[in-house]
A and B are shown apart, each in its own frame.
Chain A
Amino acid sequence: MADQDRIQLLQGTLDLLVLQTLVFGEQHGHGIATAIQRTSEDVLLVDHGSLYPALQRLERAGLISSDWGTSDNNRRARYYKLTRTGRARLTAETGKWEKMVRAVSRVLKPGKQEA
């Protein structure tokens, strides 16, 4: 996919995506970035530079925890996993997000009921 078709992440959505990615199990930083990119079918490109500050932020907030582990190709890497608080937050934030998406589409396409 060409760079111009990619979308810059909305402010604040990176946290949500990271949490969602970790639902499927623990993962290291690079893995999280790759997963988001792949799941979004290459539409969302995660800025590696802002990923690590985000991870630190989430960990400090107690939403994720981390530990050193070994990657598939035998490299030392820091693995992150969702905490209970993080899981609860994800549910709440996902709900909010969906509500917002519905609301925004209603505004953008008035008269047309979404499915």
Chain B
Amino acid sequence: MKLPRWLRWRTDQELDEEIQSHLEIEIQANLERGLSRDEARYAALRRLGNRTRLEEQAREGDPLFGVETFGRDVLHGMRNLRRNPGFTIAATISLALGVGANTVIFSLLDSTMLKPLAFPDPGRLAVISTVPAENPDQPQTSSISTYFAFRDRTTSFQSVGAYNGAACGVGTLGSDQDGVPAERILGQTLSPSLFRSLGVKPLLGRTFTDEEDQVDNVAPVVVISHGMWQRRFASDPAIVGKTLALNRTKPTVIGVMPPDFTFFGDQVEFFLPLCLTGTQVLSRVGGNTIVGRLKPGVSIKEAQAEIDTISAQLAASDQERHKGLGARVETLQQAAYRDYRSPLLILQGAVAFVLLIGCANVAGLLLARAASRRTEVAVRAALGAGRQRIVRQLLAESFPLSVLGGLVGLLLSWGGLKLFLAVAPADFPRLHEISLNLRILGFTALVVMLTSVVFAVVPAIQTSKLDLLHSLKEAGRSGTDGIARQRLRRALVTGQIALALMLLIGAGLMINSFIRVQKHDLGADPKNLLTFNFQWPISEGAKPVGKYHGVGLWEVSPRPARTFDRVAERLRSVPGVLSAAAVNIPPLNSGTLPLITTFLIEGRPAPLPNGASADESKQPDQTANYFAVTPDFFGTMRIPILRGRDFNDRDKDDAPLVMIVNQAMALQFFPGENPIGQRVTLDLAPGERPREIVAVVGDTATSRLAREQAPAVYVPHVQQTSRFSGPWVYFRTGMYFVLRTSGEPTALATAVKRAVAEVDPNTPAADLRPLEENLDDQVRNMRIYMLCLGIFGTVAAILAATGIYGVMTYSVAERTREIGVRMALGAGSVDVLKMIFSQVGRLIGAGVAIGLAGAVALTGLMKSALYGVTATDPATYAGVSLLLILVALIACAIPTRRAVKVDPTIALRYE
């Protein structure tokens, strides 16, 4: 690269000319002193010294000169890359894989943890979570009374709002809307002040006022999302003031949110006020997420101090609702994406390993090349290049390599992100915002720059330490390489093996966990089961009447239960449906929302009554999971009835009360007895009377990931009490249907929807899908995590194998003469093998030892993601180590073969 004349301080040509004129004057002077022509010339030249060096020095100070030489060196580097396509491809792939993986994971980190939330001044948004005193690291949602207390008493916050994850956030858009069949849509209930706290303005209309969210008196208003506005109202500009058929009510649309208001997820399509009832206000039950906007200049720490004080006051003044509860303040971004933090950081660590292994590969290759370039460098040094100049040149040459690796890496990451978007769960935060933005490109550029320095500086320093004379003398001879360089390369390979092993062990633990999860006996047969949720709005099937055990109490009408029976009856006649039943809680997915009841066994003393135990915060020991089911639930799910009989149509609300227990319940509470015929009184709601146990059924998993078997009771859904606890009344106005189908479950979807609509046109068969898909969803995050670690581990192993291959090939090539001599002196193939393998063995052994130690130290971080295996599972450690050793040995096979086949006569003559 030559800079244009006008940019340059002085052209080389000018300097040349000046020096030429100097020489002529000097020669003239020498001639005048009486020297001969030749002598005069020679003396002048000698006096001037090394002309190249002079020119180099003269240029050195030119600020533009640095740019120019760097450019020239980069060009030189690029020519070198083109001349050595094998080297270039190997190095580029090594780098690109590392850079690509880093960019992908960083993009995910960026979208969840770094990219500011799309609210004005998002740094001032904070979440106040309730934390139990005995478990301060488990932030939970808060009760309404906690929300009110913080809202009314805090001075650190400019405004405080709350949103609720509870039931009225699910809506049914009625078929009377516009003739379109009823459909299930997702919504969010939130306090009017939440919009103020977040600082969002509607696109059209307005958001709620405080008057519209009075306790027990909610205004019939709704705000809809931009997506809903487009989808169902064709972006009607006059939408505000029209009504929406939602949950069999007709709220007025008062506003449309802007398209970028997707904080609650893309699927949330409407927003309602909190819909608070008087009993909810009195309750201790949580479910509300409190979000506030800090006053300008108030730090999280200051807010935390104030909230601590308020919490302490609450706990002291209102023991029933606040005893043992504290609160924690963190930024909204931290709180919202808390669950993603640790897995993403671990993955970022994993890809950093991949990158390091890749860098080590390139450094190794460069070291090997540096050896063959000793002569070139020595010649350059002899011709007047300064040491600094040579190091700079090597850096400049590694730079295009890094850039090339970086660009290919970016391409890879683009593909990787596409792949991730394809497999990511739909609820991954800000999924559609993930893209290669400037911050990510900056990160990648930084990574590229660092790699360039890292893998160039080592060989550069090695090379510039050259002893000039020695190198020039050795030029053209392939003498043995410097010991220091050899040692460095071996250290690199050892490090690669260690890093790859740590990654592979992490991946192995995840794979092991995943296999265990898949093999986990569910206690039921999920194949060919179609499920859907049939849910009435709570307001249609129940009304609040009082309070029980500190939570709201509702009177449930018998109408929903009758409808469930009719739906089940109708479904049984759909062709292809072998049997149909329903349960009040998502089947095989109750891990998140268990209804837990205490109970009394007739003829036995009561356990410590609720509230009288020494430690009030502890659950009484005598508890069971509570399920309400229709007849033939066990048959449909293929849950074995171990003894006794199933519920049937005669177990009506006026018939004798019955219940079925699972095996865990039978073993724990009726050891050595026959539970059938025993009478038990549940305590989920007032009005429970003793029920007779009529059967024992097999245990079922509460989810794919649930690890223990809890006692469970099943009651006929029509025999539930007419009054029910408020937080769970949702489970009385809806049920989850399960259909055993003769063929592919999805084939029946349309027929099932139609059958349901025949019975109740206003309630859709929501979330209609095979049960197996639901089960897959439960392990989806785990699968992605496993996939990522698996891919990274494999890449790491391949890169490390390449590294070993490179070192061994090089080492064998270097020792060809030595091997030849040994063979000429009588060594056989076995001796050569021994020699090679003692070297390989040391490399691999050291790498594996370091890797195992590192894995023990690091895998503890992923403990919470493991299932059924410990972080130091010996089988995984041993298996993965063996695998890696095998891969390493295979990588050595070709160079070893070459070493054994050395022909002494050729090897010796070659020199």
A: residues with CB less than 8 A from B are 28-31, 34, 47-50, 52-53, 56-57, 60, 71, 73, 75-78
Residues of chain B at the chain A interface (Cβ within 8 Å): 9-10, 14-15, 17-19, 21-22, 24-26, 28-29, 47-51, 53-54, 57-58, 60-62
Contacts of B14 in A (CB 8 A): 78
Q: Which residues of B contact A30 (CB under 8 A)?
A: 21-22, 25-26, 29
What separation, in Å, do the CA atoms of A41 and B547 have in the docked complex?
114
Contacting residues, chain B, for A76 (C-beta < 8 A): 17, 21
Q: Which residues of A contact B57 (CB under 8 A)?
A: 50, 53
Q: Name 8 A/B residue pairs within 8 A (Cβ), A-sorted.
A: A30-B29, A48-B48, A48-B49, A49-B51, A50-B54, A60-B61, A75-B25, A76-B21
CB-CB nearest in chain A for B50: A49
Instruction: Name which residue of chain A comes closest to B55, CB basis.
Output: A52
Bound Cα distance A30, B25 (Å): 7
Decide if A77 touches B25 in the complex (CB within 8 Å): yes
**Distance between B68 CB and nearest chain A CB, rounded to angstroms:** 15
A57 CB contact (under 8 Å) in B49, B53, B54, B61: B61
CB–CB A28/B47 < 8 A: no
- Min CB gap A32→B, angstroms: 10
Of the residues A28, A49, A50, A53, contact of B25 by C-beta under 8 Å: A28
Contact partner, B19, options A34, A52, A75, Cβ 8 Å: A52
Residues of chain A with a CB closer than 8 A to B49's CB: 47-49
Query: Bound complex: CA of A71 vs CA of B24, how far in Å?
Result: 11
Please give the distance in Å from A83's CB to the nearest CB on chain B. 16
A48-B49, A53-B54, A53-B61 known; A60-B18 Cβ under 8 A: no
On whether the beta carbons of A77 and B21 are closer than 8 Å, the reply is yes
In the complex, the answer to whether B48 meets A78 with C-beta atoms within 8 Å is no
Q: Does B18 lie within 8 Å of A77, measured CB to CB?
A: yes
Q: Are A60 and B54 in touch, CB under 8 angstroms?
A: no
**Residues of chain A contacted by B22 (CB below 8 angstroms):** 28-30, 48, 52, 77
- CB of B21 within 8 A of CB of A60, answer no
Interchain CB contact under 8 A, B18 and A29:
yes
On chain A, the residues within 8 Å of B26 by CB distance are: 30, 48
| A56 to chain B: closest residue by CB | B58
Do A56 and B21 have beta carbons less than 8 Å apart? no
Which one, A48, A60, A71, A77, contacts B47 given CB within 8 A?
A48
Select from chain B the residue with minimum beta-carbon distance to A45: B47
Contact A53 B48 (CB under 8 A): no
Known: A48-B47, A49-B48. A60 touches B9 (CB 8 A): yes
- Asked whether, in the complex, the Cβ of A52 is within 8 Å of the Cβ of B62, the reply is no
Residues of B contacting A29 in the complex (Cβ-Cβ under 8 angstroms):
18, 22
Given contacts A30-B26, A47-B49, 7 further A-B contacts (CB under 8 A): A31-B25, A48-B49, A49-B54, A52-B19, A52-B54, A56-B61, A75-B24
A-B pairs with lowest CB-CB distance, top 6: A49-B49, A53-B57, A30-B25, A77-B21, A53-B58, A48-B48
Q: How distant is B342 from chain A, measured CB to nearest CB, in Å?
A: 56
Residues of A within 8 A of B48 (CB): 48-49
Measured between C-beta atoms, what is the minimum distance from B534 to chain A in Å?
85
Which of B15, B21, B47, B53 sits near A75, CB closer than 8 Å? B21
B7 to chain A, nearest CB (A): 14
A57–B28 Cα distance when bound, in Å, is 27
B28 touches A52 (CB 8 A): no
Residue among B25, B26, B29 having the largest count of chain A Cβ atoms under 10 Å: B25
- The answer for the CA separation of A53 and B386 in the assembled complex, in Å, is 15
For A52, list chain B residues within 8 Å (CB).
15, 18-19, 22, 54, 58
Nearest-CB residue, chain B, relative to A71: B25
Return chain A residues, CB-CB under 8 Å to B54. 49-50, 52-53
Nearest residue in A to B51 (C-beta to C-beta)?
Answer: A49
Give the Cβ gap from A107 to chain B, nearest Cβ, in Å: 34
Residue of B nearest to A29 (CB): B22
Nearest opposing residue in chain B for A78, CB measure: B18
Point out the residues of chain A lying under 8 angstroms from B50, CB to CB. Answer: 49
- By a CB distance below 8 angstroms, the chain B residues around A60 are 9, 61-62
Rounded to whole angstroms, the CA-CA distance of A78 and B49 in the bound complex is 20
CB contacts (< 8 Å) of B61 on chain A: these are 53, 56-57, 60
Distance of A71 Cα from B28 Cα, bound (Å): 12
User: In the complex, what residue of chain A is closest to B57 when comparing beta carbons?
Assistant: A53
Q: How far is the CB of A28 from chain B (nearest CB, A)?
A: 7
The answer for the CA separation of A48 and B18 in the assembled complex, in Å, is 12
Q: A52-B18, A75-B24 are in contact. Are A34 and B29 (CB under 8 A)?
A: yes
Give Cα A73 to B51, complex, Å.
Answer: 24
A57 nearest in chain B by CB position: B61
> Would you call B9 and A49 a contact (CB within 8 A)?
no
Q: Smallest CB–CB gap between A81 and chain B, Å?
A: 15
Most central of A28, A30, A57 by chain B CB within 10 Å: A30
Please, which residues of chain B bring their CB within 8 A of the CB of A73? 25, 28
Nearest Cβ on chain B to A72's Cβ, whole angstroms: 9
A47, B48: Cα distance in complex, Å? 7
Cβ-closest chain B residue relative to A51: B22
Q: In the bound complex, how far is the Cα of B51 from the Cα of A107, in angstroms?
A: 41
Which of B18, B47, B48, B50 has the most chain A CB atoms closer than 10 A to its own CB? B18
Q: Which residues of B contact A53 (CB under 8 A)?
A: 54, 57-58, 60-61
Tell me the smallest distance from the CB of B590 to a CB of chain A, in Å.
80
With CB as the reference atom, state the residue of chain A lying closest to B18.
A78
How near does chain B come to A77, taking the closest CB pair, in angstroms?
5
Task: Collect the chain B residues with CB atoms within 8 Å of residue A50's CB.
Answer: 54, 57
Candidate in A29, A56, A57 with the most chain B CB atoms within 10 angstroms: A56
In the complex formed, the residue of B with least CB distance to A46 is B47
Shortest beta-carbon distance, A37 to chain B, in Å?
11
Q: How far is the CA of A72 from the CA of B53 in the complex (A)?
A: 29
**Chain A proximity of B388: nearest CB distance (Å):** 15
User: Of residues A34, A47, A53, which shows the largest number of chain B Cβ atoms within 10 Å of its Cβ?
Assistant: A53
Once bound together, how far apart are the Cα atoms of A53 and B54, in whole Å? 7
A109 to B818, CA, bound (A): 67
Q: Which residues of B lie under 8 Å from residue A75 when comparing CB positions?
A: 21, 24-25
Q: Which residues of B contact A28 (CB under 8 A)?
A: 21-22, 25
Min distance, Cβ A43 to any Cβ of chain B, angstroms = 17
Q: How many Å lie between the Cα of A78 and that of B50 in the bound state? A: 21
Q: Which of chain A's residues have a CB closer than 8 A to the CB of B60?
A: 53
B14 to chain A, nearest CB (A): 8
Q: Which residue of A has the minimal Cβ distance to B56?
A: A53
Complex CA gap A57/B60 in Å reads 10
> Who on chain B is nearest to A77 by CB?
B21
